[in-house]
Amino acid sequence: MNLKQKIRNKELTIGSWLTIPHQAVVEIMATAQFDWITIDIEHSAVDIESIMNIVGHIQAAGIKALIRVYDNDEIIIKRVLDAGADGIIVPMIKSKKEAEELVSNVYYPPKGRRGVGLSRAQQYGIGFEDYQKKLEEEIIIIAQIEHIDAINNLEEILEVEEIDATLIGPYDLSASMGKPGKFHLPEVKKAVHRYDEICKTKGKPMGAHVISSDSSETQEKIDLGYTFLAFSLDFFFLGDKAREEMGKLKKENKI
């Protein structure tokens, strides 16, 4: 069973987030045996020139490489998929129409409108037919639900069959409600709970990116029924451990 099937079947998969575009970071994170790693090009310094190499290093480690693009844009989606990405995560999907446009940006005609090009994904021309099969059977499409409009339109968004899963974005969701970062407020909690309930009613997988490097917070999401989970990200793993151990040394030595 491939990763796309596992996600659609609501089997638990745990990945992480990559924002530091360096081979060593990929190789270090790969030792943790994530199911997938997402390269973030929306909120990081990763550029299009780095993507192909990073995707290759992730896949060489036996892990699926997803890319979080910065917009539901046919050009950037085409370019990252041609670079060989195993799937995409697209921010700010707020309606069924936008979800349908996302699907169209992924697939070639007649199913979609993606332009046909030959690059790494198609083995530079000799594997185009194989890639067409992979596109149908393995490419992963994730829509981010991170606006109150998306919550209000979620039932219709989930009707788009080609969307494999959704990923709730609490930061932007709270911001769209005029309460950026205030997850403790009842109205924000209510919106997130509504996401959970609609996904469960529709029988669709729930996804989230848990920023904390403390695995207990990710476990809380698992206990709530989330099955597509990003566990923290590269600079939090690095920074949190460094701060924790230095804190211990300072306390022990009174410095």
The residues annotated with a catalytic role in the active site are: 43
Rounded Cα distance, 188 and 178, in Å: 10
CA distances, 192 to each of 16, 20, 83 (Å): 21, 29, 34
What DSSP assignment string belongs to 26-41?
HHHHHTT--SEEEEE-
Answer left, alpha or beta for residue 234, where phi above 0 means left and psi between -120 and 50 means alpha: alpha
Cβ-based burial of 201 (10 A; exposed 0-12, middle 13-18, buried ≥19): exposed
User: What are the φ and ψ backbone dihedral angles of 37, each rounded to 5 degrees?
Assistant: -130, 130
Closest CA to 211 of 190, 183, 189: 183
**149: how many CB neighbours lie within 10 A of its CB?**
15
